[in-house]
Amino acid sequence: MSDHRIELTVNGQTRSATVEGRRTLSDFLRIDAGYTGVHVGCEHGVCGACTVIVDGRAVRSCLMLAVQADGAAVTTVEGLAAPDGTLHPVQQALRDAHGLQCGFCTPGIVMTLAALTSDEKKPGAETLLGAMSGHICRCTGYQGIRKAARALAGEDV
Ligand code: FES
Ligand code: FES
């Protein structure tokens, strides 16, 4: 398997690396680059735990090769909170709604919701709840997760 030189930004920092062509983006981020908030569950695109934001879109990093992220801007859950520790609105909403238990599924859920919501983008609850259908929570903490999604859509919960 041939090696490839890649350069990308992760959470605003430029990173260069040499990776095998078969290296997944999830393994590159978690194992090679140390972003352990990228959780790996199923490794075939079902559970959503490995979701990160690539050039503004939520992506299952277990289904993307690191070489495909060459030149991209990647955000992991480590890059969401402000430098002073202030939580991202999605993180705050999940905290307020008790939308997590063990936390294994949480980074992926946070990244999916963060990709869909911003100061400019205000999706409705249907969109956010629909996106949550792509995430499996082994703790079955769905009520709190759904409550957080509805709060992000501006609903009174
Ligand atoms: S580990 Fe990527 S979707 Fe489950
Ligand atoms: S909070 Fe444990 S897997 Fe979702």
- Which residues are CB-contacts of 85 (< 8 A; sequence separation ≥ 6)? none
> Does residue 84 sit within a domain?
no
The predicted model gives 88-103 an average pLDDT of: 97
Same domain for 94 and 75, yes or no, is no
Tell me which residue range forms the domain holding 10. Answer: 3-79
Number of domains making up the chain: 2
For residue 140, which atom of ligand 2 is closest to its CA?
A: 4
pLDDT value of position 121:
83
The predicted model gives 101-127 an average pLDDT of: 94
Q: Which of 105, 143, 145 to mutate to test the pocket of ligand 2 (most atoms within 8 A of CB)?
A: 105
pLDDT > 80? residue 119: no
Q: Three-class SS of residue 67?
A: helix
Residue 135 Cβ inside 6 Å of ligand 1? The answer reads no
Residue 99 Cβ inside 6 Å of ligand 2? The answer reads no
SS3 breakdown of the chain: % helix, strand, coil, rounded to 5? 35, 20, 45
- The last residue of one of the domains, among 33, 53, 79, is 79
Q: Which residue has the higher pLDDT, 1 or 69?
A: 69
Residue 49 Cβ inside 6 Å of ligand 1? The answer reads yes
The predicted model gives 98-103 an average pLDDT of: 96
Residue 136 Cβ inside 6 Å of ligand 2? The answer reads no
pLDDT in tens, 22-65: 999 999 999 999 999 999 999 999 999 999 999 999 999 999 99
